[in-house]
Amino acid sequence: MSGLGQTPPEAGVADDEGFKALVMSHARSLHRLAYRMTRNEQDAEDVVQDALLKAYRGLDKFENRAELKTWLHRITTNCAYDLLRKRVRRAEDDLPETDSEADAVTSSLLSTTPGPDQTAHAGDIRRRVNESMERMSATERTAFVLRHYEGHTLEHIGQTLGISLAATKQCVFRAVRKVRQDLEPLVQAS
Amino acid sequence: MTPTRHLTDNQIVLLYYREPLEEGGFDGHLAGCEACLARFDRLSRVLRAVGQDEVPEPTGDFETRMTARVLAVAKAPAHGRLLRFPGRFQRAARVLAAGAALAACLLLAFSVGRRLGRVEEQTLTAAQTQERVLLTALGEHLGRSRVTLVELKNREVSEADLKALQVAANNLVTASRLFRAAAERAGEGQIADVMEETERLLVRFAAAPDTDASSELDGLRKRVDSRDLLFRLQVMEAQVEKREKNLAPTASRSSL
């Protein structure tokens, strides 16, 4: 992978072979991260596409002291985070307007709570994780994915999201509470 | 001996993730406290279960597709291209090209309008006129986008049509980028979001290599449905139209 980081595409000597090698090496791990955050295959592909495009256009800004993987993951995180925030904004626009409508939505959500006889197999876990993630804010979800799946420290997550360490902790705490509410009955039953 | 103080739920989360506790005095607490250890175990079981949640692997040619799409978008000219369309797409091409040109004019008008609006009260009418022009063009663009998506979604296409449709999609993306820039500058986040999402779908189809164009068109059709894009475009179009009608000459400036 020659020239990456030294040869920005804007200079007219874009290193396409290098870029292809970059995609071959990192696209799948970026997809995993994007999927964890978006919980949707199509959105994950879109996020990876956006992230790789930004990476391609921003190779000149890439600082060699940083790890390429870290840099790519940060771009992907930001793309997914932006998508989540837009999605939340759209969902807020679609919120029911009356109390009775809101009650109906709450009832339908509550009715999906698993009974004690349900077993915690993979499909159930995926469904419950999806539901927990849906109940998280964009920031909570991002913080949780980066901490739980990607193994980033809270300090690093705070830097990525541009929030304080204390705020990052609160995001993770709230996210874990939501996950526990949804998964603990399943795990105990199993 | 049972300790008098126990770990909080949040502290147990920090311990699970091997993060430092905010408060001192708990070194070795878990090992000596059955209650906290049981709570730690319960949390560990839940979070381990979350870790079992598998991610579907993208299809085999994922890297090739990503590379092709990104390079196609990155190397596409920033401005509209003069393209030759086969017979039945020529009219659509002309409309799209006109839309792109109009959008460029509107961007200029909008920038000037903002400056005028800030300076003198007497220029309010001029700013409102520009706003109306922008709203009209924006409404027309949203309508064009919707009609194009309907066409892409419903038309029976032959192999020969695919290339022309890809070109039409690419042109719509070019026009849309200009309008989206104007919408973003005007703080019209919702409209910009819908446009961006439409562009993203169209880019995937427009940039697909010949071998993948048909499957990308199928994918586009599914995404148009799953994301309610036609409905959302229609809503935006109706909102813009309503605002345009409500724009009285004496009214104060709106955000657009």
Q: Tokens representing A23?
A: 């995609």
CB B74 within 8 A of CB A56: yes
Per residue in B79-91, pLDDT tens?
Answer: 443 333 344 444 5
The overall longest dimension of chain B from CA atoms, in Å, is: 89
What's the average model confidence in pLDDT over A152-176? 94
- Round to whole Å and give the CA distance between A41 and A33: 11
For residue B82, the model assigns a pLDDT of 34
Question: CA distances (Å), B50 to each of A175, A179, B43, B163, in order?
Answer: 12, 8, 11, 44
- Maximum average pLDDT range among A73-82, B19-28, B131-140, B172-181: A73-82
- Round to whole Å and give the CA distance between B137 and B131: 10
In the 8-state DSSP scheme, what is residue A149? I
Per residue in B100-121, pLDDT tens?
Answer: 556 655 664 555 455 444 444 4
Per residue in B151-162, pLDDT tens?
Answer: 787 777 777 778
Q: Which of A109-123, A163-177, B60-74, B216-230 has the weakest average pLDDT?
A: A109-123
Q: What percent of chain A has pLDDT over 90?
A: 44
Q: Is B28 left (phi over 0), alpha (psi -120 to 50) or beta?
A: left
Contact B49 A186 (CB under 8 A): yes
Place of tokens 């079992």: B52
Question: CA distances (Å), A15 to each of A1, A12, A61, B69, B186, in order?
Answer: 9, 9, 15, 16, 37
Chain A window 21-50: which residues touch B at a Cβ cutoff of 8 Å?
23-24, 27-28, 31-32, 35-36, 41-42, 44-46, 48-50
Tell me the pTM: 0.58
> Cβ of B38 under 8 Å from any chain A Cβ?
no
**A9 or B248, higher pLDDT:** B248
What's the average model confidence in pLDDT over B1-20? 82
Using DSSP's 3-state secondary structure scheme, residue B209 falls into coil
Q: Does A164 have pLDDT greater than 60? A: yes
CB B49 within 8 A of CB A120: yes
Nearest to B215 by CA among B85, B49, B65, B57: B65
Q: What are phi and psi of B13, to 5 degrees?
A: -60, -45
Q: What are phi and psi of A86, to 5 degrees?
A: -65, -40
Give me the half-sphere count of Cα atoms (radius 13 Å) on the Cβ side of residue A154.
21
Q: Where are the alpha helices (DSSP H) in chain B?
A: 9-16, 29-32, 34-51, 62-75, 90-119, 124-154, 159-185, 189-206, 210-226, 229-246
For residue B105, the model assigns a pLDDT of 55
**In 10 A of CB A100, how many CB atoms?**
9
- Round to whole Å and give the CA distance between A154 and A152: 7
Give me the half-sphere count of Cα atoms (radius 13 Å) on the Cβ side of residue B201.
25
The number of C-beta contacts closer than 8 angstroms across A and B is 108
**In 10 A of CB B154, how many CB atoms?**
8
Q: Which of A25-34, A74-83, A139-148, B114-123 has the weakest average pLDDT?
A: B114-123
B45-B51-B54 Cα angle (round to 5): 135
For residue A93, the model assigns a pLDDT of 55
Using DSSP's 3-state secondary structure scheme, residue A57 falls into helix
Nearest to A93 by CA among B234, B189, B180, B145: B189
**A115 or B234, higher pLDDT:** B234
CA distance A8 to chain B (A): 12
A159 — pLDDT class (breaks 50, 70, 90): very high
What's the average model confidence in pLDDT over A167-183? 94
Q: Does B185 have pLDDT greater than 50? A: yes
CB-CB neighbors (< 8 A) of A56 in chain B? 70-71, 74
A154 — pLDDT class (breaks 50, 70, 90): very high
Q: Rg for chain A (alpha carbons), in Å? A: 20
In the 8-state DSSP scheme, what is residue B88? G
Q: Does A77 have pLDDT greater than 90? A: yes
Average pLDDT, chain A: 77
For residue B78, the model assigns a pLDDT of 52
Using DSSP's 3-state secondary structure scheme, residue B183 falls into helix
In the 8-state DSSP scheme, what is residue A125? H
Q: Cα A87 from chain centroid? A: 12
Name every residue whose Cβ is closer than 8 Å to that of residue A114 and which is 6 or more positions away in sequence: A124, A128, A185, A186, A189
> Cβ of A65 under 8 Å from any chain B Cβ?
no
Nearest to B97 by CA among B81, B110, B85, B84: B81
Nearest to A129 among B43, B53, B70 (CB): B53
Contact A180 B43 (CB under 8 A): yes
- Round to whole Å and give the CA distance between B58 and B65: 11
Contact A32 B55 (CB under 8 A): yes
**A163 or A67, higher pLDDT:** A163
Chain A window 109-148: which residues touch B at a Cβ cutoff of 8 Å?
120, 122, 125-126, 129, 147-148
Q: Does B143 have pLDDT greater than 80? A: yes
What's the average model confidence in pLDDT over A29-57? 92
Using DSSP's 3-state secondary structure scheme, residue B82 falls into coil
Residue type, B86: P
Nearest to B133 by CA among B160, B152, B105, B154: B105
Q: Does A41 have pLDDT greater than 70? A: yes
CA distance B36 to chain A (A): 16
**In 10 A of CB B66, how many CB atoms?**
24
In the 8-state DSSP scheme, what is residue B61? T
Nearest to B227 by CA among A13, A94, A25, A141: A94
